[in-house]
Structure 1
């Protein structure tokens, strides 16, 4: 049974670029001090949220964008059969809710995966600021482009018949997104989501995912651990992503 949506707790201390864990990828980072102050004035930090909390639900009125300050979330939609289909994952520095811009409602549920803090940005005020600020417009369009590419990734993963290919593309995408957010090129990818969620996202059964992880480990491409995966052969993962 779905957990009830928790009230979004407001922390009075405002979020600033200095406190953001991914400040190099933060919306504020590309702005001059004057415009950064205008945006910072409407941002509110909300949290902490626990695993399973829902930030918004499918069909609820769209009124807020969320930047992930720390932690991670997934989005999911209901299939025609009523099953939950994972549609994406979001990590620190990434913007949640851009797929609702131009619509009046959120198209999915946003579900917390671990203890998470968010920067809540009122959508109307944010879009008004974008109208007069080319740098902020560029940031927003870039994030919307990221979302479109992520959706295309999901479509491509579910069209590919080979489970190994799907998983390798997914792992390489997680690695690349972390490099963009943090600049760090460490090859250990922490798994904040359950492996059942990964299987759901990739269109695999949990059993098939486990077999595929073993195959890639035996091939020397990854080292699968309980809550992390070490990427041993980035060239192989990159090649899979380019095919």
Structure 2
């Protein structure tokens, strides 16, 4: 039975709705897809049950089988030292991909843990590879997505290297601002998904130092903070503190308050 008129448009519309604010939008929507290809791509994406706060999506050493796109909530990725000390490697918001760093070795080099109740879409990697070989342009989009994620991580590491604690905090707040803006949310007022202790771990400063930094930023009128609720009050000053070597996602115009 042939598809009714406009059925392809309806299917693409449904996929666009399902993948709104999702990293998958970079894989499928820029590609000219036939209705059958849209169905194939839609079928391999597997929504998972919500992950409760502090539960793991995967642990370091787990076999690699899929990449994941955060749908709601947030994750942190971390490693453990030989003595069992945690080192947070990154925070991942809706629309961002985790698990790419396991492709080469076949095992996850770090763990991924929910910072709050989180939902993800699971994309089995072998099925995605197979599908990308049969859908023109999908493989290019997949490689482009991987490159973008890796570049963003390297840019952040480069920006934070050899910086003062004050500069590092300003850089991360501006980066979060732009990442929220990409989701269509306010770049100036948002809720931090991580605790200040987790933020201090990521930035390599003591929790007491982090508390002092937040207090100093508030006293200078750069931010307003109430628990995890944060407002960037003086973005220009934050950019001045962060300095010229901002990562690409922290220097966009979306952080320029009127």
On whether the aligned pair clears a TM of 0.5, the verdict is yes
Determine if contact 1:87/1:154 at 8 Å carries over to the other structure. Answer: no
Range moving further from structure 2, 22-31 or 200-209: 22-31
Matching residue of 1:76:
78
Matching residue of 1:109:
111
For the pair 1:60 / 2:59, whether they are aligned, the reply is: no
1:41-96 Cα offsets, whole Å, 9 max, x none, are 11111011100111111111110111111111110101243211000111111111
Q: Report SS of the residue matched to 2:75.
A: strand
1:85-117 Cα offsets, whole Å, 9 max, x none, are 000111111111111122211111010111111
- 1:216 CA drift (Å): 1.3
Tell me which structure has the larger Cα radius of gyration. Answer: 2
- 1:36 CA drift (Å): 3.0
Return closer, same or farther for 1:157/1:214 CA change in 2, 3 Å cut-off: farther
Determine if contact 1:158/1:203 at 8 Å carries over to the other structure. Answer: no
Structure 2 unaligned residues grouped into runs of 5+: 1-13, 246-258
Normalised by the size of structure 1, how large is the TM-score?
0.84
Matching residue of 2:9:
none
1:3-58 Cα offsets, whole Å, 9 max, x none, are xxxxxxxxxxxx94313451586343323343332211111110111001111111
- 1:136 CA drift (Å): 2.7
Q: Report SS of the residue matched to 1:67.
A: strand
Q: Report SS of the residue matched to 1:242.
A: coil
* Whole-Å separation in 2 of the counterparts to 1:72 and 1:211: 25
* Whole-Å separation in 2 of the counterparts to 1:39 and 1:188: 35
- For residues 129-168 of structure 1, the aligned pairs below 5 Å read 129-133=131-135, 135-156=137-158, 159-168=161-170
Q: CA RMSD in A?
A: 2.3
Structure 1 unaligned residues grouped into runs of 5+: 1-14
* Whole-Å separation in 2 of the counterparts to 1:59 and 1:49: 19
- 1:134 CA drift (Å): 5.4
Matching residue of 2:16:
17
* Whole-Å separation in 2 of the counterparts to 1:21 and 1:157: 30
Q: Which of the two has greater strand per residue?
A: 1
- 1:158 CA drift (Å): 5.1
Return closer, same or farther for 1:194/1:66 CA change in 2, 3 Å cut-off: same
* Whole-Å separation in 2 of the counterparts to 1:99 and 1:241: 29
Determine if contact 2:23/2:97 at 8 Å carries over to the other structure. Answer: no
Matching residue of 1:213:
214
Aligned length: 228
- For residues 86-125 of structure 1, the aligned pairs below 5 Å read 86-125=88-127
